A and B are shown apart, each in its own frame.
Chain A
Amino acid sequence: MAVPKRRMSRSNTRARRSQWKATLPALSHCPRGHVVRQHNACPTCGRYNDRQVLDV
């Protein structure tokens, strides 16, 4: 099995980890003004396309 010959420097570790980034979700507002993910039923009022799909 392959084993590292040298300890990885703190600098290299941090340079690698600097590429771990979160992406913003695509958000918009439902007709009643709640913030929702696009193409998803509104988690607050449970409606999508003026149709009740969730029990809230």
Chain B
Amino acid sequence: MPAPTKGARLGGSPAHQRHMLANLATALFEHGAITTTETKAKRLRPYAEHLITFAKRGDLHARRQVMRVIGNKSVVHELFTEIGPRYENRNGGYTRITKVGFRKGDNAQLARIELVEALTVGQSAVAEAERARGTQFAGRKAPTGATAEAAADLAKESPTAAAVAVEAEEAKAAEATATESEATEAPATTETTEETTEGDAKDA
């Protein structure tokens, strides 16, 4: 048996609920942000983000699957050409819900659901720094390439970026010494060389 959808049921019938979610998603993609009740916003969030995932995939099959939900072709076009590519570097969490007080008439809690901005260079650098620092999801990893450059640029602005910049330089220096030592040790013993290369692979 499939797990029931989280959250409240909307409308009077399954068809009514489907229509409401589809219309809310269409309005969200058309305007970028909508104000609705908190209950509807909470139901809309996973639904809309699923559609954005299709837009990120961007092939014909994905487009047809979205067209089953959203009838407005211009909205689908905008979703696939602008909204999808904007979230290239973001893994989920494309919407933000903020509570904005109560509605006159029925005192329902209102919420504003909006599409979040694309990640900036600084934010991506910080995210990579968090990954590099080592979390429960990812092992420790020294920053390289664009991240190291961005961290060096932002070093004065944020302590995290400064730490990353230092780490990047250390990693570069360590790599240089490792390659030198490999060159000297290579003829003597092959086993130690293999160990050092494995260690490098983990560091890099």
Contact = CB atoms under 8 A, between A and B. Distances in A.
B112 interface: yes
A28 interface: no
B112 A53 contact: yes
Interface in B86-129: 98-101, 112, 114
Q: Is the interface of B mostly helix, strand, loop or mixed?
A: strand
A43 B112 CA distance: 13
Contacts of B101: 37, 40-41, 43
Contact of B98 (A37, A41, A43): A41
A40 B99 CA distance: 5
Nearest to A38: B99
Contacts of B114: 53
Contacts of A48: 98-100
Contacts of B99: 39-41, 48
Nearest to A40: B99
A51 B101 CA distance: 16
A54 B112 CA distance: 9
Nearest to A46: B100
A54 B35 CA distance: 10
Contacts of A41: 98-101, 112
A53 B99 CA distance: 9
Interface in A1-56: 37, 39-41, 43, 48-49, 51, 53-54
Contacts of B98: 41, 48-49, 51, 53
A44 to B, nearest CB: 11
Interface of B: 98-101, 112, 114
18 contacts: A39-B99, A40-B99, A40-B100, A40-B101, A41-B98, A41-B99, A41-B100, A41-B101, A43-B101, A48-B98, A48-B99, A48-B100, A49-B98, A51-B98, A53-B98, A53-B100, A53-B114, A54-B100
